[in-house]
Amino acid sequence: MTAKQCYVFVLVISFLQTTLCVAQSASVLSTTTLKNYVTYFNSIDDEAVKNYVPNDQSFEWLSNNIPLFDCPDSTLQEVYYYRWWAFRKHLKETPEGYVFTEFITKVNHAGKYNAISSALGHHIYEGRWLHNPQYINDYISFWLYVDPKHVAQRFHGFSSWVDDAVYNRYLVNLDKPFIQKNLQALDADYRKWQQEKQLPSGLFWQFDVKDAMEESISGSRKEKNRRPSINSYMYGNAKALEAMAALAQNDTLQRRYQQQTTELKKLTLDSLWNDSAHFFEVRLEKGGFSNAREAIGFIPWYFNLPDDKPAYASQWDQLIDPTGFKAPWGITTAERRHPLFRTHGSGHGCEWDGPVWPFATTQTLKGLSNLLTRYTNQGRMNKSVFYDELLKYAHSHTMNGKIYLGEYQDDKTGEWLKGDNPRSKFYNHSGFADLIISDLVGLKPRADNVLEIHPLIPDRKWDWFCLDNVLYHGKMLTILYDKTGKHYGKGKGFIVFSDGKRVIKEKALTPVSVRSF
């Protein structure tokens, strides 16, 4: 029996053990499957870098911190656990608290402790599901209070949606004291962005390299172009600050950010929507649109910025167009029909002129999820499009027959264009687990006491799945669907438990909500 066959056999046994233990506990899934995945991941890793949680302690740490996931698609399940396993590798304990790194090895453009802010929003969204809040608490505090003390500050080295991420994490844990403690620092940081990047018109400008999207078709390292990316981020940040100010009962701050969100939304819709292209595009400093459809045009939906109108929703049709963004290996970062597609370098120098970047894929899928759950006008988008692109994203986690996560990929072949560069291994520059929890399964964090779940699993795609051990609003949730009731032994249909008590039961896999769960 080969090593791979042994691994598959172990997973089959673990599945049987998981199913058999169902009736013996309030929770549904055991950690056996997690343990077997961790054993496999450890076995193919040379562990050149060890941070706070080394491989030999990873199972225990993950068991104590992450939701468990079970589904019929082995790739989605394997990548879900792999991404948590890899995320853990980037956790560093420092004299000034915990931080998460982006690169596993030291890079010159990083700040203290090898910290980089470009994927901070992704890290917080992913890390909001960890059971121990200290890791993300410390990480946020590092950027707000520690980095500003450095001679060479790195926080504003890249555009950021930090305020939005902090608030959306609050929606998971309801840690109001943390918001109250950090509101003034977050407000001060937003005002610093206004001083640095806001034009007299009210829109924000950014170099593409400072968007973490260097060598793009529309970008520049010198011109102050107005980009959908940073303007969407600053809208999302202002919207979050408005909500956090209300939470802290700071009426003055709430009114200021309410005005900012209103103005920035109007400016973005009026100035960055190219009506002839039916797409949000970069507007150049020298005048006019860039005339390039790029994945950053999908970012406004990450923050629910566009109005719910057919004209805006029609942009998403480009996602399933092979001359648009649909490629064999994933969602491209620029439209494939553009004459400058894949022309900005050797293919090995961090180009954002078309290759597939997990960073952008995460943003686009989150935007698509919002379109499908928060909008009535959805163009040609549906749950199957979301599922197919998420599955394609999962399948992209491979190199030389082994599971792998790198920087960016060729859109046709899936080749990781940095190769097996040590810095690119376990590249922590995107999200995945959050897309499973909050988008595919559809747990929608809210500030009130309503539990809302809006699954994006296509109809009749799965006969069973389970998301277990989810710490939400201080309660432990189990979310499952069992068509026959025999797979998990908890009954037929769509069922949700809160602290072991059944709070939802529906025949079909459908959007549900319940108060006082």
Q: What is the pLDDT of residues 467-509, one digit of tens each?
A: 999 999 999 999 999 999 999 999 999 999 999 999 999 999 9
Q: How many CB atoms lie within 10 A of CB 171?
A: 18
Distance (Å, whole) CA 313 – CA 19: 42
Instruction: Give yes or no for residue 251 having a pLDDT over 70.
Output: yes
347: pLDDT confidence band, cut at 50, 70 and 90? low
pTM assigned to the model:
0.94
170: pLDDT confidence band, cut at 50, 70 and 90? very high
Arithmetic mean of pLDDT, 420-447 = 97
3-state secondary structure 307-332: CCCHHHHHHHHHHHCCCCCEECCEEC
What is the reported pLDDT for 25?
39
What is the reported pLDDT for 16?
38
Cβ atoms of residues 51 and 91 within 8 Å: yes
Which whole-number Å values give the CA distances from 131 to 38, 81, 165, in the listed order?
A: 19, 16, 17
Picking from 398, 394, 412, the residue whose alpha carbon sits closest to that of residue 342 is 412
Instruction: Give yes or no for residue 7 having a pLDDT over 80.
Output: no
DSSP letter assigned to residue 183:
H
Residues 6+ apart with CB under 8 A from 102: 90, 110, 114, 115, 116, 118, 119, 427, 428, 429
Arithmetic mean of pLDDT, 1-16 = 42
Instruction: Give yes or no for residue 11 having a pLDDT over 70.
Output: no
Distance (Å, whole) CA 337 – CA 323: 5
Arithmetic mean of pLDDT, 185-210 = 98
Task: Express each pLDDT in 354-412 by its tens digit.
Answer: 999 999 999 999 999 999 999 999 999 999 999 999 999 999 999 999 999 999 999 99
Instruction: Give yes or no for residue 117 having a pLDDT over 70.
Output: yes
Least confident stretch, 62-76, 291-305, 346-360, 434-448? 346-360
Arithmetic mean of pLDDT, 262-267 = 98
346: pLDDT confidence band, cut at 50, 70 and 90? low
What is the reported pLDDT for 329?
98
348: pLDDT confidence band, cut at 50, 70 and 90? low
- The one-letter code for the residue type at 173 is N
Instruction: Give yes or no for residue 1 having a pLDDT over 80.
Output: no
Mean per-residue pLDDT over the chain, rounded: 94
Distance (Å, whole) CA 334 – CA 331: 9
Cβ atoms of residues 69 and 108 within 8 Å: no
Task: Express each pLDDT in 397-425 by its tens digit.
Answer: 999 999 999 999 999 999 999 988 898 99
Which whole-number Å values give the CA distances from 440 to 433, 443, 455, 467, 494, in the listed order?
A: 10, 8, 6, 11, 14
